Structure 1
Amino acid sequence: MSILRLTADQVRRCLHGVGYEIFVQSFFDSNGDGIGDLNGLRQKLDYLSDLGITLIWLMPIHPAKTYHKYDVEDYMNIHSDYGTIEDFRHLINECHQRGILVILDLVANHTSYDHPWFQQAQLNSTNSYRDYYIWKDSERVQQLGLNAFNTPDMNAAGLWHKVGPESEHFDWEEFEKKSKIRIDVDKDDRITSKLALSHDEEQSTNKRKIEKLTTNIYYAIFDPRMPDLNYDCERVQDEICRIGRTWLELGVDGFRLDAAKYFYKPPRLKSNISWWTKFRNEMLRINPSVYLIGEVWDLSIRIAPYLRSLDSVFNFELADIFISCILNEGNCSSMLNSYIRIINNYKKENHGEIIDAIFLSNHDQNRVMSVFNNNVSKAKMAAALLLTLPGLPFIYYGEEIGMLGMKPHDKYRREPFLWSANQTQGQTTWLEPLYTTISNGCIPLDQQLKDSNSLVNHYKKLIHIRCQSDILLFGLLKPIPTRIRCLCLFEREYNNKSIFIAHNIGYRMQQISIPKIYCHIIYSTNDNNQLITKGQLNLQGFSSIIIDSK
């Protein structure tokens, strides 16, 4: 099957449109097994196209043991629950026919415990795959020192793990229930955790036994079932480049790069940047328009250097400020100033076109509707802010219908998309939802589509206005100062044209001044927002307006 490709101009517009993060397992089921799949997603492309989405990010779709699939067992295949390579080709083509780009989650910081590379590596210290991973007895680790591997992101199970059933079958839910074990290394270089050793083994001081144990202690920052790869090994780099090229040849438009700052341990910025530059150059050989976006969960000043080699990084700092502004109904001017500061930090590292990846929440965070305590007005204001700023805004699947989700476990932030009040064909059922239920006030998509004032139609209107306006797609941001904390006022400028945007994130009406050149309302969330005499506007509470100079 030949792959339909988008032109460079089409790609550029898509990369300033609206992205949509999808957990395939929870989206739509095509074969009745209760698990979302690629063909199910394909059946819902008209919904995404009608919503106005220009790029979809697929969370991991490769074979894996866990529900989340960030423990990849085979980078070259599709999980059997999701479909086949042929299904994937059909999906790519139908996305491209609708002008939608597709990027894959590339989880290359670590593999699954069950990946053939790790299965080989653990056999003995001379195996050809041994250097693919990080082992406690390696010369490099001895030189760096164990303490150098400590990081603020260290999970509760620790960084070092012993090969064996305790690690292979590690269960986070059970671990968190017990909440009394962690892995550490004592002065005698022995594992002191009951997770790794029985009491009898701890008491043994037989030198041969200790040596045998320390040869199979490996490094895993996120989960004992996900051993970290060793990027000081060039064969690992070559393998990941080969994997990336293969998926681009299958038609993928780019990658979301998981845990992008952790590839060298301890985190080494120059080494990370060097690796991503190499990876980018390899991907450009296949697709000159390839899009690479990194997950670098940090402050903007630490994120910025990654833009030397990547097109985008997720703006975690701005997301936190977004949510804080909406919750507190204030500090809007500070938010805009923070945005300008972040962009300036980015420009110091990348003097080309910056595609800022802005968002409200993702699969690792509590859903925004839960954070807003099911307040639809606040959810609408958050969407309006997101969709009128520069960059590439990402929507987490279901955010547009107000899906709920919180800890204690990540899977409840990845619940099934709520298509209908009835258990209709295609609804995924792999997980019984705790949060996104009608009894919790969630309104299914089919009902919302019939209501012109619903959250999903609010998203739809804003997305279409954005994607039809070059100023909103590509324009620069020019904040307009105000002392009124709940007002967010700014202009967007592109090719000597501009539009005026005002958001009132508070519940009281505010009167604002409009620059004289603006006289034509192209969008308003409230019919009571009307231009009045002498360039004054009454902006109702929890409402937005977009005005141009036509």
Structure 2
Amino acid sequence: MFVTFSCKQDKANQVETVETEDVEVVELAPMSDDVMETAVIYEANIRQYSPEGTFDEFTKDIPQLKELGVKIIWLMPVFPISETKRKATGGEDSKFASDFPEDEQGKYLGSYYAVTDFTKINPEFGTIEDFRKLVNTAHENGIYVILDWVPNHTGWDHEWLKTNPEYYTQNEQGEVIHPEGTDWTDVADLNYDNQEMRIEMIEDMSYWLNEEGVDGLRCDVAGSVPTDFWEQAIPQLRNQKDIFMLAEAWEPELLKGDLFDMAYAWDGHHLLNDLANGDKNLEDLNVYINKVSNDYEDDDILMNFITNHDENSWNGAVKERMGDASQLMLAVSYVMPGMPLIYSGQEYGLDHRLLFFEKDSIPKTKGVAWDDLKKLGALKNTNPALNGGKQKATALQLETDNVNVLKYTRTKDGNSVTLLGNFSNEPQTFTIEEEGEFLDYMADEKIVLNNQSMTLQPWEYKIFVN
């Protein structure tokens, strides 16, 4: 049995190692507000991270993630995947593996989100011991681990379908159905009117937090699950240990009180795509900033991203969607209030859509993408002006004399970070009304400003630090 021990110290990221007869357990100090202020979160797609697609291959690289400022690893679902109605392709005309000749069916591995058992490990990735090694290695490197949880549905092989069909949504004929309004035909919709199912769901969540040392959960389509379930479940989980909770949702009510710590900046993500394509302008960015301020409370946290597993596989790689504006949009995602996300392969300049239901792999050559993420991660980790958690730095969008140029400043405790960006595909000249000596952060050069004219090339940006 894997036994965890709580290390209740105030100092963030302090590590305690406890030896037992079965395994060496490594625990971090509890997740703190300070960690959330400065963290970068990393989404790990274990299947596609390496040619082997195993926990062990990912674990080897965890120490490198520290170079990128990563403080939280979100593991995409690690549970066994159902064989019944296993998906082979996506979309409205999707096919099951069983629709193909028998000698082809083996290459279709199915969706991570069609879970057979919430308390087991997908053998495709390794063993429970391999998983424990991953968690321990992350903790040894001062990084927290959260699991991707799938509360809205299960795969068609889940034992509840045999033992407790009342746990599922049924049609008038008494047949279990997939989630209405979706093409998710490989999963069965859970019925949250059933209180016994809720209890078992919370017990399964608790297992990973208490028995396997996991530090929190990223909850898939959290907005499709009744809010009163989260009001029931999350306080129970928090009573067991200090955890970090991420909702794949935008709804502000999910961040109320002591519910989720962070939600998705979906509107912000779509806006970045539109800005990169010229479909929106800086006035739209200003509208978005004001909307976030009005819709969310001061201590709410949003996750900023230019890619993730859904965006990459279904809508395109970063370069495909954002073109030459990619690096500018990345910088915006780091400088805006909130927590920036790195998706597996983004750090290596991933430029293709990863297969979702089959084996694929990311590149592993460090280049411009790695260098940019390393610099931006260090700034996020260390400069209070980029604090993005429950006690955010102040944010101020300042007008320039050029409608295509953004001047966006964050300040806190005497520190300031200013992003200057050209949001067009033409060179833009403007006047920067600043005086004094600054650090041109990405170039690592000192610069003296004196209310001068400046030109930025198409989609070029600069970050000035006081």
> TM-score w.r.t. structure 2 length?
0.80
1:467-486 counterparts in 2 under 5 A? 467-474=381-388, 475-482=393-400, 484-486=402-404
The residue number in structure 2 matching 1:204 is: none
Aligned counterparts of 2:437 and 2:302: Cα–Cα separation in 1: 30
The residue number in structure 2 matching 1:256 is: 218
The residue number in structure 2 matching 1:382 is: 329
Q: Percent identity?
A: 23
Aligned counterparts of 1:363 and 1:9: Cα–Cα separation in 2: 25
Displacement of 1:369? 6.7
Following superposition, which runs of at least 4 residues in structure 1 exceed 6 angstroms of deviation? none
Aligned counterparts of 1:514 and 1:240: Cα–Cα separation in 2: 55
- Say whether residues 1:293 and 2:246 are aligned partners: yes
Q: Which amino acid aligns with 2:74?
A: W
Higher fraction of strand: 2
Summarize the Cα distance change of 1:233–1:500 in structure 2 as closer, same or farther, 3 Å threshold: same
Aligned counterparts of 2:168 and 2:402: Cα–Cα separation in 1: 55
Aligned counterparts of 1:35 and 1:401: Cα–Cα separation in 2: 18
- Say whether residues 1:545 and 2:457 are aligned partners: no
Q: Which amino acid aligns with 1:418?
A: P
Summarize the Cα distance change of 1:5–1:478 in structure 2 as closer, same or farther, 3 Å threshold: farther
Aligned counterparts of 2:149 and 2:37: Cα–Cα separation in 1: 18
Q: Which amino acid aligns with 1:40?
A: E
Gaps of 5+ in 1: 29-33, 121-128, 138-213, 264-271, 420-444, 449-453
The residue number in structure 2 matching 1:521 is: 439
Report the RMSD for the aligned CA atoms in angstroms: 2.7
The residue number in structure 1 matching 2:370 is: 456
CA contact (8 A) 2:252 2:296 kept: yes
Return the match for 1:418 from 353, 358, 363.
363
Aligned counterparts of 1:332 and 1:491: Cα–Cα separation in 2: 15
Aligned counterparts of 1:238 and 1:50: Cα–Cα separation in 2: 40
The residue number in structure 2 matching 1:68 is: 111
CA contact (8 A) 1:73 1:111 kept: yes
* Helix, strand or coil at the partner of 1:21: strand
* Helix, strand or coil at the partner of 2:148: strand
Aligned counterparts of 1:461 and 1:494: Cα–Cα separation in 2: 20
Summarize the Cα distance change of 1:329–1:498 in structure 2 as closer, same or farther, 3 Å threshold: farther
Displacement of 1:132? 0.7
Deviation string 1:161-198 (CA, Å, 9 cap, x unpaired) is xxxxxxxxxxxxxxxxxxxxxxxxxxxxxxxxxxxxxx
Displacement of 1:131? 1.7
Summarize the Cα distance change of 1:232–1:369 in structure 2 as closer, same or farther, 3 Å threshold: closer
Structure number with larger C-alpha Rg: 1
Gaps of 5+ in 2: 1-22, 83-108
Summarize the Cα distance change of 1:240–1:517 in structure 2 as closer, same or farther, 3 Å threshold: farther
CA contact (8 A) 1:360 1:386 kept: yes
CA contact (8 A) 1:369 1:399 kept: no
* Helix, strand or coil at the partner of 1:111: strand
Return the match for 1:77 from 103, 107, 120.
120
Return the match for 1:494 from 399, 412, 425.
412
Displacement of 1:113? 0.6
Aligned counterparts of 2:318 and 2:400: Cα–Cα separation in 1: 27
Aligned counterparts of 2:453 and 2:442: Cα–Cα separation in 1: 15
Displacement of 1:287? 1.6
Q: Which amino acid aligns with 1:251?
A: G
Aligned counterparts of 2:283 and 2:162: Cα–Cα separation in 1: 54
1:19-418 counterparts in 2 under 5 A? 19-28=41-50, 34-65=51-82, 66-120=109-163, 129-137=164-172, 214-221=173-180, 222=182, 223-249=184-210, 250-263=212-225, 272-288=226-242, 290-296=243-249, 303-308=251-256, 309-328=259-278, 331-347=281-297, 353-366=299-312, 370=317, 372-373=319-320, 377-406=324-353, 410-411=356-357, 415-418=360-363
Q: Which amino acid aligns with 1:287?
A: K
Aligned counterparts of 1:405 and 1:535: Cα–Cα separation in 2: 41
Q: Which amino acid aligns with 2:158?
A: H
* Helix, strand or coil at the partner of 2:311: coil
Aligned counterparts of 2:319 and 2:403: Cα–Cα separation in 1: 19
* Helix, strand or coil at the partner of 2:43: strand
Displacement of 1:316? 0.9
- The range that moved more, 276-285 or 510-519, is 510-519
Displacement of 1:45? 0.8
Displacement of 1:472? 1.2
Displacement of 1:523? 0.8
Q: Which amino acid aligns with 1:112?
A: G
Summarize the Cα distance change of 1:231–1:490 in structure 2 as closer, same or farther, 3 Å threshold: same
Displacement of 1:501? 2.1
* Helix, strand or coil at the partner of 2:231: helix
Summarize the Cα distance change of 1:483–1:514 in structure 2 as closer, same or farther, 3 Å threshold: closer
Deviation string 1:4-62 (CA, Å, 9 cap, x unpaired) is 3333476632564211112100112xxxxx54111111011122222222211111110
Q: Which amino acid aligns with 1:545?
A: K
Summarize the Cα distance change of 1:71–1:390 in structure 2 as closer, same or farther, 3 Å threshold: same
Deviation string 1:37-94 (CA, Å, 9 cap, x unpaired) is 1111101112222222221111111011343321111111111111222222221121
Displacement of 1:525? 5.0
Aligned counterparts of 2:119 and 2:436: Cα–Cα separation in 1: 54
Deviation string 1:315-374 (CA, Å, 9 cap, x unpaired) is 111101011112218612421331231232012xxx5x2211111122222468746448
Aligned counterparts of 1:330 and 1:532: Cα–Cα separation in 2: 30
Displacement of 1:105? 0.6
Aligned counterparts of 2:322 and 2:310: Cα–Cα separation in 1: 21
Aligned counterparts of 1:47 and 1:110: Cα–Cα separation in 2: 35
Aligned counterparts of 2:418 and 2:318: Cα–Cα separation in 1: 29
CA contact (8 A) 2:77 2:112 kept: yes
Displacement of 1:130? 2.8
Aligned counterparts of 1:114 and 1:369: Cα–Cα separation in 2: 31
Q: Which amino acid aligns with 1:342?
A: V
| Corresponding pairs, count | 408
Summarize the Cα distance change of 1:493–1:461 in structure 2 as closer, same or farther, 3 Å threshold: same
Summarize the Cα distance change of 1:375–1:456 in structure 2 as closer, same or farther, 3 Å threshold: farther
